[in-house]
Amino acid sequence: VLNNKLLALGHQVTVAGSVREAQEIFERDGFGAFDCLITDCCMAEQSGLDLLVWLKDQDPTLASIIMSRDANEELLTRLLRCGASDFLEKPVMSENLKSSLARTLESTQRRRRHAATNSAVIEAGLVQRRMNDPSKTTDFDTPLTVCYHPRHQAGGDSVSFFPQPDGRMLIVVADVSGHDLKSAFISAYFQGMLRGLVEEGTSTRLIFERFNRFLVGGWNSPPGQAPDGLSEIISLSACAIAIDPASRSMHVLNSGFPIIHRLRESGEPMPCGDVGGNPLGWFDPAEITDLSFPIDKGDRLIVWTDGLEDFAHQLGVSEWSLAFRLLAARESDQDPVWLRKAPDDLLVIVARVSESIPEVERFPLLRAEYPVAEKFEVDLVQARWAQTLSFAIPDVSSDRATDALLCCREAVLRALASDGPRTGGRCIVQFTVDASVQELEICVISPGIAFRPPAVDPDHLSDEERGLFIVHQIPTRVSLSDCGSAIHMHFSLSPQIDLLRP
């Protein structure tokens, strides 16, 4: 009877006499051959619910109608849980069947559109990840380590790498406002335009200016003149770094991009200029800062998009520790759980810019400057150090972390207890770690202060000397530099060496 009603409504119908037969038909013809499943709830061997559960697992986009004589609450609840789209009480009235079918067919179409879009976005994201991986876009051995985590499947951050046969290289990093599919399209457009123009020999400044005009004059037109759906301002912050290892210099163009840093061999970060001007797309002419910097032996360059700074703030840790953790996790197949809370796309790039490679590469976890102030909230500052350390090195032993925090506290308090003019009014704290996470170094710098160990017998330490004694006794090793005004406290993170300590 139902078959005749469906045929009368103009549908093509395939009939199965059991759950098993229905499954065989789906497997033979494919789920895409059907737009709706209608099944009775009660059948001889397996029930219609069994078929729904199986279908939900095989193809969740195919919507279904289930029929029964008994429309009790328990059954309806079970139907919902099994993924039924609609319910018809038997005997089925033609009008009810017609309206239920219309809803269910629409549901199947909607689900299939969503699935196709989702699949396309995932595909776009994979293409974007490939474009952001220099090892896959050039034939050269790349000196770049790239870590890219779009907030969704695809995002607006990009990196383009242009190596030259003579060793010079150009790195362009960009961040389109927003972190959705639209941002990904603008980002891909910029990357394509950039690649074409660079290969033609156009200067990066001219490319930035052209893209600025494209955004200001086209996409960001005044209200009413903008293309459909693009009434908001789209901007692109970008940074181009031209590196010449032979002349040990680099040239940086920056439009609204966060500060980039040189990393010294010791792990000390050196800022290259300031945040550069406005992003492209805001005003014409473009505001582009243009600076040159020297490159020292063993230098690396680190660049990140502003999503990293926002996320570090959200986590309560330093940008450096987040960058380190991201770089350390980049080889893992699955994104860590903590990364899912990132509010924006994240892109971190480390580039080897010097021809000489240091034996041990150190990476900063924290760099902070504290002014000499009457009220220095040492407990709050120490809590941030602790948070940063445990985030960057999650498996650091609490004993070793406490050692490091105590020594840092002692050194900073000693520095800040001195009068402002002598210390230059500030104290710098820097945490660095080697790439294999074997040793943590805490460096405290305070101009004018001597961190030399007390020369008296430990039994006769004065109150002032006791802190200094601690910072020289607890670390695995200690060294001084800059006439004693910088103390470098090294803490072994290896458990084997721990056992040898008193």
Return residues touching other proteins (CB under 8 A): 378-379, 399, 402-403, 405-406, 409-410, 413, 458-459, 461, 463, 466-467, 469-470, 473-474, 502
| d(C-alpha 159, C-alpha 171), whole Å | 7
| d(C-alpha 158, C-alpha 345), whole Å | 10
| d(C-alpha 100, C-alpha 105), whole Å | 9
| Order of all β-strands in the sheet with 426-434 | 362-371, 426-434, 439-445, 486-492, 477-481
Q: Is residue 72 classed exposed, middle or buried when 0-12, 13-18 and 19+ CB atoms within 10 A define those classes?
A: exposed
Query: From the CB of 496, what's the least distance to other proteins, in Å?
Result: 17
Query: From the CB of 369, what's the least distance to other proteins, in Å?
Result: 20
Query: From the CB of 387, what's the least distance to other proteins, in Å?
Result: 15
Query: From the CB of 409, what's the least distance to other proteins, in Å?
Result: 6
Query: What are phi and psi for residue 428, nearest 5 degrees?
Result: -110, 135
Query: From the CB of 135, what's the least distance to other proteins, in Å?
Result: 44
Closer CB to other proteins, residue 53 or residue 474?
474
Query: From the CB of 489, what's the least distance to other proteins, in Å?
Result: 14
Closer CB to other proteins, residue 124 or residue 406?
406
Inter-residue contact 185 to 121 (CB < 8 Å): no
Query: From the CB of 425, what's the least distance to other proteins, in Å?
Result: 21
Closer CB to other proteins, residue 174 or residue 401?
401
Query: From the CB of 473, what's the least distance to other proteins, in Å?
Result: 5
Q: How do strand 249-255 and strand 260-263 relate by DSSP bridges?
A: unpaired
- Start-to-end CA span in the chain (Å): 89
In 10 A of CB 314, how many CB atoms?
13
Query: From the CB of 501, what's the least distance to other proteins, in Å?
Result: 8
Closer CB to other proteins, residue 262 or residue 409?
409
Those residues whose C-beta lies under 8 Å from the C-beta of residue 206, and which sit 6 or more positions away, are: 197
Question: Which stretches within 139-203 are classed as H helix?
Answer: 181-200
Could you please report the per-residue DSSP string of 267-311?
S-EEEES-S-SSPBTSSSS---EEEEEE--TT-EEEEE-HHHHHH
Closer CB to other proteins, residue 302 or residue 408?
408
Closer CB to other proteins, residue 197 or residue 406?
406
Query: From the CB of 324, what's the least distance to other proteins, in Å?
Result: 25
Residue 458 one-letter amino acid: P
Q: Report residue 343 as tokens.
A: 């509010």
Closer CB to other proteins, residue 21 or residue 399?
399
Query: From the CB of 464, what's the least distance to other proteins, in Å?
Result: 9
Closer CB to other proteins, residue 261 or residue 409?
409
Closer CB to other proteins, residue 209 or residue 465?
465
Q: Is residue 287 classed exposed, middle or buried when 0-12, 13-18 and 19+ CB atoms within 10 A define those classes?
A: middle
**Helix, strand or coil, per DSSP, at residue 333:** coil
Inter-residue contact 104 to 67 (CB < 8 Å): no
Q: Is residue 423 classed exposed, middle or buried when 0-12, 13-18 and 19+ CB atoms within 10 A define those classes?
A: buried
> Which DSSP category does 222 fall into?
P
Inter-residue contact 240 to 171 (CB < 8 Å): yes
Residue 185 one-letter amino acid: F
Closer CB to other proteins, residue 118 or residue 402?
402
Q: Report residue 113 as tokens.
A: 């559109």
For tokens 């660049």, the residue is: 303
| d(C-alpha 11, C-alpha 334), whole Å | 45
Query: From the CB of 419, what's the least distance to other proteins, in Å?
Result: 18
Closer CB to other proteins, residue 238 or residue 401?
401
| d(C-alpha 59, C-alpha 22), whole Å | 14
Closer CB to other proteins, residue 368 or residue 406?
406
